[in-house]
């Protein structure tokens, strides 16, 4: 998954030879999980066909204000609706002619009407011959568009269609997609922040085939990781055994099994972390002795001596400097009192309380019901929600604190 997943992208295509690259551009946006609609100037159809772009985008391609039906009926292509649909708009290639019209408010085709109606961020990638690109009027058009808040994707230098060598080549599709992704990430509230999240259970071995564990699925931790990435953070997700899946360019998953392995990995990353959220259900005890061979059933009873595991959360509370540290508490009785005691004892900035008394909360459920308590012991209660929405509530609380 990328930052473009689930986003609506409006691609404006103008009449330049670089229009042939737009087929690959559409394909790349679709691969990143975006929905794409294409608006073409009438002249651009001489360089790439609407059928090609429609097939790749799986959407109609728009070229005129009206589409004639089979019985000479006309269907209106609303530039307003297209402009409102888009999360982001890209004009590529952007010819000198179109740049001039965009910068001066000329509206003589559907693409320009959509541009003037768009409420979203607009990117433009020029493509033209060297002398045209260097002309003062083109430079002025680019400067004006940037002054309006539009984002300039500079052309690359190389061999041009005329045979000249220099600036003017539309940037390659892969680099355009990367440019847009990086620009979006830079504008997100957790851009440049590093977030560590623990998730899932730990398994403490008894012998090669048996272990002590718990019913944690990791769903809450994985929801937190996805939310942190959507806010622009670089995420380090340290997970115990879990069937949950995640694929995102900003999430690095580190798999562990035991509490000791989780302790080691957490301490490896913690020194460089801005925010740490420990949502894993780490075992409190482990077998003192682990059999190297499978234990045979030979008696009616079996005693296993247990010893405490290292308290990962407490160990981080002891060494934290500027990190914002969040813990979880799963309680069955005296919930608030126990959570506050844990908050203070372990030097946390926030604690997220789950109560097994709440229906729909706890392990394996798709929902959760939480109470968040901060260092001043302010209590914020939330209703039963999906774990994705709970993750959003948790990050809203964190951002309210760190950006206060």
Neighbours of 308 (CB within 10 A): 10
What is the per-residue pLDDT for 105? 95
Averaged pLDDT for residues 335-360: 88
* Model confidence pLDDT, tens digit, residues 365-397: 788 899 999 999 999 999 999 999 999 999 999
Neighbours of 392 (CB within 10 A): 17
Lowest mean pLDDT among 13-22, 193-202, 327-336: 327-336
Averaged pLDDT for residues 72-78: 67
Residues in the annotated binding site for CTP: 284, 294, 328, 342, 346
133 against 65, higher pLDDT: 133
Q: Do domains 8-186 and 194-293+304-402 have the same CATH topology?
A: yes
Q: Which residues are catalytic?
A: 214
Domain 8-186, CATH class in plain words? alpha beta
Q: Do residues 259 and 204 make contact, with C-beta atoms less than 8 angstroms apart?
A: yes
Q: Which residues contact 184 (CB under 8 A, 6 or more apart)?
A: 3, 4, 88
Q: Is the pLDDT of residue 97 over 80?
A: yes
Q: Is 257 exposed, middle or buried (0-12, 13-18, 19+ CB in 10 A)?
A: middle
Q: Is the pLDDT of residue 363 over 70?
A: no
Q: Which helix (H) or strand (E) holds 303?
A: none
Domain 194-293+304-402, CATH class in plain words? alpha beta
Q: Where are the beta strands (DSSP E) in 64-216?
A: 66-68, 74-76, 88-94, 121-126, 151-152, 156-159, 165-169, 194-199, 204-205, 211-212
Domain limits, the chain: 8-186, 194-293+304-402
Handedness of CA 276, 277, 280, 285 (dihedral sign): positive
Q: Do residues 254 and 234 make contact, with C-beta atoms less than 8 angstroms apart?
A: no
What is the per-residue pLDDT for 87? 97
What is the pTM assigned to this prediction? 0.85
């Amino acid at each position: 998954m990328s930052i473009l997943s689930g986003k609506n992208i409006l691609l404006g295509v103008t009449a330049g030879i670089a229009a042939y690259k737009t087929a690959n551009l559409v394909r790349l946006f679709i691969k990143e999980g975006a929905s794409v609609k294409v608006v073409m100037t009438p002249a651009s159809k001489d360089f790439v066909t609407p059928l090609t772009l429609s097939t790749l985008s799986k959407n109609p391609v728009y070229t005129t204000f009206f589409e004639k039906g089979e019985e000479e009926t006309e269907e209106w292509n609303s530039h307003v609706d297209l402009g409102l649909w888009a999360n982001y708009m890209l004009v590529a290639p952007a010819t000198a002619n179109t740049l001039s019209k965009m910068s001066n408010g000329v509206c003589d085709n559907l693409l320009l009407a959509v541009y003037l109606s768009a409420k979203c961020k607009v990117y433009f990638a020029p493509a033209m011959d060297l002398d045209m690109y260097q002309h003062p009027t083109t430079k002025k058009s680019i400067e004006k568009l940037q002054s309006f808040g539009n984002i300039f994707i500079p052309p690359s230098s190389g061999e041009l269609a005329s045979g000249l060598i220099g600036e003017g080549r539309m940037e390659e599709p892969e680099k355009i997609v990367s440019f847009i992704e990086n620009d979006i990430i830079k504008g997100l509230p957790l851009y440049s922040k590093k977030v560590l999240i623990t998730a899932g259970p730990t398994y403490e071995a008894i012998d090669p085939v048996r272990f002590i564990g718990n019913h944690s699925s990791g769903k809450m931790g994985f929801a937190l990781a996805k939310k942190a990435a959507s806010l622009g953070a670089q995420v380090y997700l340290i997970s115990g055994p879990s069937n949950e899946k995640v694929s995102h360019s900003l999430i690095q998953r580190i798999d562990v099994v035991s509490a000791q392995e989780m302790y080691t990995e957490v301490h490896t990353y913690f020194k460089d972390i801005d925010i740490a959220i420990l949502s894993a259900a780490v075992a409190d005890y482990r077998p003192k002795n682990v059999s190297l061979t499978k234990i045979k059933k030979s008696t009616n009873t079996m005693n296993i001596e247990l010893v405490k595991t290292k308290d990962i959360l407490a160990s981080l509370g002891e060494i934290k400097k500027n990190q914002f540290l969040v813990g979880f508490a799963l309680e069955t009785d005296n919930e608030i009192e126990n959570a506050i005691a844990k908050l203070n004892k372990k030097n946390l900035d926030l604690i997220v309380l789950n109560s097994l008394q709440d229906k729909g909360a706890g392990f394996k459920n798709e929902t959760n019901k939480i109470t968040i308590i901060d260092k001043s012991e302010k209590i914020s209660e939330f209703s039963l929600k999906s774990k994705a929405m709970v993750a959003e509530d948790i990050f809203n609380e964190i951002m309210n604190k760190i950006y206060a």
